[in-house]
Amino acid sequence: MNKKDIFGALIFMVVAAFLLGAAWLYRQHSNAALVRGQYVFANTRDNMQNLAHIRLITAGGETNIYKQDYDWRVKEAEDYFVNANRLTDFYEMINNSLIETVAPADEETKKEKQLNAESATKIITYNADDEVLDEIIIGKHYKGTSAYAYSPDNKKYYYVISNVGALSGKSENWLPYPLLSVDDYLISKIKTPKLDADHEQIRQLLAGSLEFKRAAEVLGYIGYDKIMRKSEFQNLQKEQQRRLEITMVGGLIYVLDIYHINDAYWLGITLKADKVSRKEVPPFVGANQKYFADWLFGLNKRQGETLFEM
């Protein structure tokens, strides 16, 4: 082979290598372009009626939200009911979150965007047959409701995605809050171990008793920081329990059982209808008793002490 042939062959190899590289880059950018504008949770979005399980994984633990008999529940919180507003926000993200930007990802980039296991939230959705619909890893927020994310199915890229709400892998953040809110103005009767008062007497107590006013404030916003099934409570002693019976205008009755055990306060709630209640009260009790029937709710010390001594 003469010099001219060798030179020609070298030029051919250089041109071929350039064309192959350009074709590879084109394919990579084409793949990225095809992803841009797609729904982040496309499979879930197309199968919303069959969505049965949402799994959130963070460095701090795991939370599983699952559907049972048309109700969504939190497995890690004694299978209690999900906060409806939180679930609505999640549905909003599934239906509207889009891939806005696509860029190459490496380990350093993923760490910077908080897409590593120590910082990110992994979301996996499943259908009723426990088959994975979508899996996405979401890192820190970018601007507004946008956030960085990437898919384990396409690890070469990270995304900027839209319509990302305030996600949490903590089970307590998925629970309804407050547990109960009793408007003192609508209380017609209240009975405790120390007190038996009608509506007029309650008004007088609110005006003249700081202790009663403090108790009314607690009743107006009852929170909780833990949940236990009633079946776990055994051999309760009468001295550990105080019962408050609160009758509202209209005839709805809240029966509150407060237990003081091992320096902790627990609240049990039963709904009842007064004999002369309005016609809508018994159906309300029937529909809502399920939220209280099987659980006790942990009160903080201030709430527990106030209600126990009421």
pLDDT confidence bin for 157, thresholds 50/70/90: confident
Higher pLDDT, residue 245 or 16:
245
pLDDT confidence bin for 184, thresholds 50/70/90: very high
Q: Tell me the C-alpha distance between 53 and 18, whole Å.
A: 48
Q: Tell me the C-alpha distance between 42 and 125, whole Å.
A: 11
Task: Write down the domain spans for the chain.
Answer: 1-35, 42-174, 184-308
Higher pLDDT, residue 231 or 233:
231
pLDDT confidence bin for 170, thresholds 50/70/90: confident
pLDDT given for residue 75 in this prediction: 96
- At 78-129, the pLDDT tens digits run 999 999 999 999 999 999 999 998 888 888 888 899 988 888 999 999 999 9
Residue 197 pLDDT > 70, yes or no? Answer: yes
pLDDT given for residue 196 in this prediction: 95
pLDDT given for residue 249 in this prediction: 94
Residue 6 pLDDT > 60, yes or no? Answer: no
Q: Tell me the C-alpha distance between 141 and 80, whole Å.
A: 30
Q: How would you label 99-130 residue by residue, b for 16+ Cβ within 10 Å and e otherwise?
A: bbebeebeeeebeebbbeeeebbbbbbbbeee
Q: Tell me the C-alpha distance between 310 and 300, whole Å.
A: 16
Higher pLDDT, residue 250 or 152:
250
Interval 119-141 mean pLDDT: 94
Higher pLDDT, residue 3 or 234:
234
Tell me the range of 56-60, 231-235, 290-294 where mean pLDDT is highest.
290-294
pLDDT given for residue 59 in this prediction: 83
pLDDT confidence bin for 1, thresholds 50/70/90: low
Report the percentage of the chain scoring pLDDT > 90.
Answer: 65
pLDDT confidence bin for 182, thresholds 50/70/90: very high
pTM of the model: 0.82
Residue 9 pLDDT > 60, yes or no? Answer: no
Residue 179 pLDDT > 90, yes or no? Answer: yes
- At 15-73, the pLDDT tens digits run 444 434 433 333 444 444 446 678 999 999 999 999 999 999 988 889 999 999 889 99
Are 172 and 62 in contact by the 8 Å Cβ rule? The answer is no
Are 255 and 243 in contact by the 8 Å Cβ rule? The answer is yes
